[in-house]
Amino acid sequence: MIYTKLDHGVTCIDAGYVSEGMACYYLMEEGGECAVLETGTSHSAEALWRLLRERGIAREQVRFVIPTHVHLDHAGGAGAMLAGLPEAQLLIHPRGARHMADPRRLVDAARAVYGDELFHALYGEVVPVEAGRIRELSDGETVSLAGRQLQFRHTRGHAEHHLCIWDEASGGWFTGDMFGVSYPWCRFPAADFVLPSTTPSQFDPGAFLASLQLLDSYAPRRMFLTHYGELAYSQASSQLLARQIEAYCELATSDSSDAAGLQQRLGDYTLALLREFDVRADEAGLRDRLSFDMQLNAQGLQLWRQRAANG
C-alpha cells in the first residue's frame, strides 16, 4: 500500500491504476468522521480497507464517497467501496448519478476500447451503487463533515458531469481532471508542470477555461489532483493550463491530421514546453512518458473538432 499523509487531515492513497503515481484518491478525517474523495477502480478498495484498519477507523465512520466524475479511473471503485461502507452516501454530479446506479454503459464503452482481458486488469468488476444511497449535488451546494464545510461546484470542460470540491479548511480544491495532470516526474526544481486532460468525449475548451477561472477565483493555496497528488497552487500553473488549451485547439483546427498525426504534434508542442522546465531532460524518455496522455488528448480533440465541424 502506497499512501502519503498530508496536512489538514488528508491522506493521498495510490489507486494502483496502470502504474504507481498514475492515479490516486484521498481520505479526509475530521472529528471522528471521514470522506473518500475519488475512488480509483474496484482494485483500489483494498488499500482503503488496510488504511482504515491501520488508523483504527471503523468503516461506519466513513460518511461520504465523492467521485469528481464517472470516468472509471475516478469512479470505477465507487460500488465496491459503498458495499463495504455501511453508513456512507455517494455524492455525485446529477448527470453522473444514473451511471453509478447502472454502470453498464460505462463498462460497455470501456470494454469496446480495451477488450475483456485488459478491462478486467485495469478496472475489475464495476459494481452498481444502490440508488437510495446516491445523493445528487447541485452547483454551489455545501455538505458538512463533522462541521468541516465542503462546497461542490459544477466544472464543465473535461466532462459535462464533472464537479470539484472546495475545502475551506485546507484552502484546497479536489480537482479531478479540471486542473490537469501533474505526475511525480512533472515536478521540477523551478516549478511544477501541469498538462491538460482533453480526453474523449466531452472536451469543451470554452467551458474548460471558464472552470479554471472559477477555481482561481477562490484564491486556493493547494490543489489535490487525481493525477497526481497535492500540488501547490500558483497562478502561473493555471495560466500554463489555459495556454495549452488554446494551443491544443489551434493545433487541432489548423489541419485535418488523423489521430496519429495530431498526437505527434501535441507531443512536439509539449516537449518544447517541458524544455522550459528542464533543458537537460531526455527527449526519448519524455516522449515515452507522454504517449498515453497525448494519445487520449488527441482523441478528445478530434471528437471536439468533429462536433465543431457539424455545428
SS (H, E, C) the chain: CCEEECCCCEEEEECCCCCCCCCEEEEEEECCEEEEECCCCHHHHHHHHHHHHHHCCCHHHEEEEECCCCCHHHHCCHHHHHHCCCCCEEEECCCCHHHHHCCHHHHHHHHHHHHHHHHHHHHCCCCCCCHHHEEECCCCCEEEECCEEEEEEECCCCCCCCEEEEECCCCEEEEECCCCECCHHHECCCCECCECCCCCCCCCHHHHHHHHHHHHHCCCCEEEECCCEEEECCHHHHHHHHHHHHHHHHHHHHCCCCHHHHHHHHHHHHHHHHHCCCCCCCHHHHHHHHHHHHHHHHHHHHHHHHHHHCC
Fold assignment, 139-311: Metallo-beta-lactamase; Chain A (3.60.15)
Q: What percent of the chain has pLDDT over 90?
A: 88
The mean-pLDDT minimum among 5-19, 156-170, 187-201, 233-247 falls in: 187-201
Q: How far apart are CA 128 and CA 126, in angstroms?
A: 7
Which pLDDT band holds residue 227 (cuts at 50, 70, 90)?
very high
170-184 residue pLDDT tens = 999 999 999 999 999
pLDDT of residue 288: 92
Range 146-174 average pLDDT:
98
pLDDT of residue 280: 77
Q: How far apart are CA 141 and CA 26, in angstroms?
A: 20
Same fold, 1-92+95-136 and 139-311: yes
Q: Tell me what the pLDDT averaged over the chain comes to.
A: 95
Domain ranges of the chain: 1-92+95-136, 139-311
pLDDT of residue 255: 72
Which pLDDT band holds residue 278 (cuts at 50, 70, 90)?
confident
Range 185-202 average pLDDT:
92
Residue 8 half-sphere exposure, CB side, CA atoms within 13 Å?
Answer: 16
Residue 178: name the closest of 200, 163, 161, 193 by CA. 163
Whole-prediction pTM: 0.96
Range 283-290 average pLDDT:
90
pLDDT of residue 220: 98
Q: Does the domain at residues 1-92+95-136 carry the CATH identifier 3.30.70.270?
A: no
